[in-house]
Structure 1
Amino acid sequence: MAENPNQPTEYDAILGGAYPAPPGAAILGGLEGVKHRLASEAVSLRSNAFKEALKYGQTGLDLVIQTLNADRKGNSTKELAPRANLSGANLSGVDFSGVNLSRVNLNGANLSGANLSKAYLSGATLSGAILSGANLSGAILNSLDLSKLDLSGLDLSGANLSGAYLREANLSCANLTGAYLREANLSWADLTKTNLSRAILSGAILREANLNGANLSGAYLSWAHLHGLDLREADLSEADLSGANLSGLDLSRASLSRANLCWANLREADLSGANLSKANLTKATYNMATRFPKGFSPNRAKAMLSK
């Protein structure tokens, strides 16, 4: 990197004069040229200038963050889609905490070890992005397409993933404590040993997801779509499963102590070896194919036998 990023290089074009360049003037080189393009009304010119700024080290990165945040604060009236192009950029270890990254193209970007806590990523694209070791706690990720991404072991506690598309995503061992996953699509996602305690999963689609060994204690799963789940040994203590369709699911050796199973569908479910102490099964439906723990009486628990 040049010693002074504000100075033009050998091949840069320079606008003469002692005064700042007017909009549309031909400043092409140096960091000043990048600043000028970031202020441009031309969508593609401004969007691509973000990646150019990264060539100027920390100074350029500070400019990127400053420009992105300026939009959220109302200092910019531009509505660009994408607002910035950072596809394929090396952003490993960068501190983006609380930064406005909405509608930013981050496809294929290296965000390993980046701090994205409380970052606003609504409308961003992350296809093929590398996120290993990133901190996404409290991040706004609602309605994003995160399908097939490797999010294993990441801190996503308190993140807003409502309506997010997480089909076939790897979330094994991730921390999703208190995360908002309302109506998120988690079909075929790997959630083995994932911490989902106190997570909000109402209306979420969890078809064929692997939740083996997951912690769902205190999770809100009311009316969630749970078809084909593997819930063996899952911790569902104090979880709200009211109205949930658990028919045919393997819940063997799962912890359901103090869980709310009111109106839940337990037909053909395998609850053998499960802990149902103080669980509420009022008006939950079961049939003769339902397997309960040894000695458990569904009749005393006020569950209803379905023909």
Structure 2
Amino acid sequence: MSDELNEEKQPKEYDLVLGGNNPPPTDGLVLGGIEGLKLQFNNANSEEKKIAILQKALAYGETGEAWLLDLIATENDKIQWLAAVLLSNTKNKIYKELLLEYFADFIPKNVDSWNEYKQTLPNFEINLSAINIGYNKELHQVDFSKVNLKKANLSNLLLYEINFFQTNLSQINLKNTTVVSSNIKQSNLENANLTKALFYGAELDEVNLSNAIFVDTDFCNNACIQNMLIDHSYSFSNTSFSDIIFKNVTFKNVNLQNIYFYGSSFENVVFDNCNLISADFRIDCIANLIFKDSNLENIRLMLSNLKGVKFDCVNLRGADFRWSDLTGVNFTGLDVRGANFTRCTFGNNNLDKANTKGAKFSSINSPRFPPNLKTSNLKGALFDDQHYYEPGYE
């Protein structure tokens, strides 16, 4: 009996040992609740084990969050960062404010560590909504991919080579911010403030820009906009798209009056029912550019490669085509009154049933005026090479 009793007194594998001179086991001891998790964390003999244990904290609700907050104050480096990230989705307003202050200080000063640590939780949403980093001057090569930056303030910054892939940027403040050579693919910029923002060489592929504020916004220097539908929810004011690569983009029911597209290239792009009055399109058409059911009055298309461009039921009154290559363009039935075709290159064109009153062409004897246009309807057109000649563009 005494042997059995002594055996019963011996601690089993999962018993809690209190007191004694022997240290508690690091793996076999299990203490219930958050205290057990803390004990496992304190007894862990490697950073990897601590990280694995730490990720279980959120399962303990408010007590788990409180512990994570304590770790932010007592730990450092990756463990401190990880505790903050795990707590980033808290609904506790006090905790949230403290976390945003922590990250707003940590990120600009520890970019390499942020990028390294971020790989620890590749599938965990880091919630930095409403963070204010706008007081910094610049950020370089920060990995914000898949981070929640909703309502964040990144205004007045230089953002260089930032990874915003699949990032929630809705309602973000990028006012007066310059975004250089950055990946913004598949991100959500809905309702973003892009006033006076400059996108220089940025990649915007499948980006949601609905209801974003475009006032004096500038996209330039080979920024790439592709695989997008830009519809009536977009409002552009004094926006510039200079030297942009457009691929697989449809503009539908958009007001683009006076918008600047200087030097841009277009591949599989459609402007459907758009207001393009006085827009500037000095462009290079790579392939399949269509203007459909749109108002192109006084549009500027001079010095452009427009081979194969399709004009379908559009108003081209007063359009400026000077010195452009119009090979293969069909103007049948279109209103080109007052349009300027001076020094254009023609070939396989048709102006049958077009309204050409006041349209300006080079002289009928000019080598720039091919014989096949003689059969088109050119009633009211003007042929005075000397009157429309401009030095330097012979």
TM range (shorter): 0.7 to 0.9
Query: Which of 324, 328, 331 is the aligned partner of 1:283?
Result: 328
The CA deviation string for residues 77-103 of structure 1, in whole angstroms up to 9 with x for no partner, is 532231x22112222233322211111
**1:52 Cα deviation (Å)?**
4.5
Whether 1:273 aligns to 2:318 is: yes
The alignment of Structure 1 onto Structure 2 pairs a total of residues equal to 289
The CA deviation string for residues 12-40 of structure 1, in whole angstroms up to 9 with x for no partner, is x9x999x9987147672454446425346
Matches of 1:34 and 1:68, distance apart in 2: 13
Whether 1:196 aligns to 2:241 is: yes
Whether 1:92 aligns to 2:134 is: yes
Whose radius of gyration is greater, 1 or 2? 2
**1:304 Cα deviation (Å)?**
3.5
Whether 1:186 aligns to 2:227 is: no
**1:210 Cα deviation (Å)?**
2.2
In structure 2, what is the equivalent of residue 233 of structure 1? Answer: 278
Whether 1:164 aligns to 2:207 is: yes
Give the residue type in structure 1 aligned to 2:122.
E
Matches of 1:164 and 1:224, distance apart in 2: 16
Distance 1:92 1:172, change over 3 A: same
Q: Does 1 or 2 have the higher relative contact order (CA < 8 Å, sep 6+)?
A: 1
Matches of 2:331 and 2:115, distance apart in 1: 54
Give the residue type in structure 2 aligned to 1:186.
I
Matches of 1:51 and 1:98, distance apart in 2: 25
Distance 1:71 1:305, change over 3 A: farther
**1:182 Cα deviation (Å)?**
1.6
2:323–2:345 contact (8 Å) kept in structure 1: no
Distance 1:53 1:44, change over 3 A: closer
Query: Which of 254, 258, 265 is the aligned partner of 2:299?
Result: 254
Matches of 2:313 and 2:345, distance apart in 1: 16
Of 86-95 and 157-166, deviating more is: 86-95
Query: Which of 172, 180, 184 is the aligned partner of 1:137?
Result: 180
CA RMSD of aligned residues (A): 3.5
Q: Where in structure 2 are there 5+ consecutive unaligned residues?
A: 1-37, 55-66, 354-394
2:171–2:190 contact (8 Å) kept in structure 1: no
Matches of 1:33 and 1:113, distance apart in 2: 33
Matches of 1:295 and 1:121, distance apart in 2: 44
2:288–2:309 contact (8 Å) kept in structure 1: yes
2:327–2:345 contact (8 Å) kept in structure 1: no
1:70 partner SS: helix
In structure 2, what is the equivalent of residue 81 of structure 1? Answer: 124
2:149–2:172 contact (8 Å) kept in structure 1: yes
Q: Which structure has greater strand proportion?
A: 2
2:278 partner SS: coil
Q: How does the TM-score come out when normalised to structure 2?
A: 0.63
Matches of 1:287 and 1:117, distance apart in 2: 48
Query: Which of 106, 109, 123 is the aligned partner of 1:60?
Result: 106
**1:248 Cα deviation (Å)?**
2.5
In structure 1, what is the equivalent of residue 18 of structure 2? Answer: none
Distance 1:233 1:295, change over 3 A: closer
Give the residue type in structure 1 aligned to 2:225.
L
Identity, % of aligned positions: 18
The CA deviation string for residues 285-304 of structure 1, in whole angstroms up to 9 with x for no partner, is 23313335347499955324
Distance 1:58 1:247, change over 3 A: closer
Q: Where in structure 1 are there 5+ consecutive unaligned residues?
A: 1-12
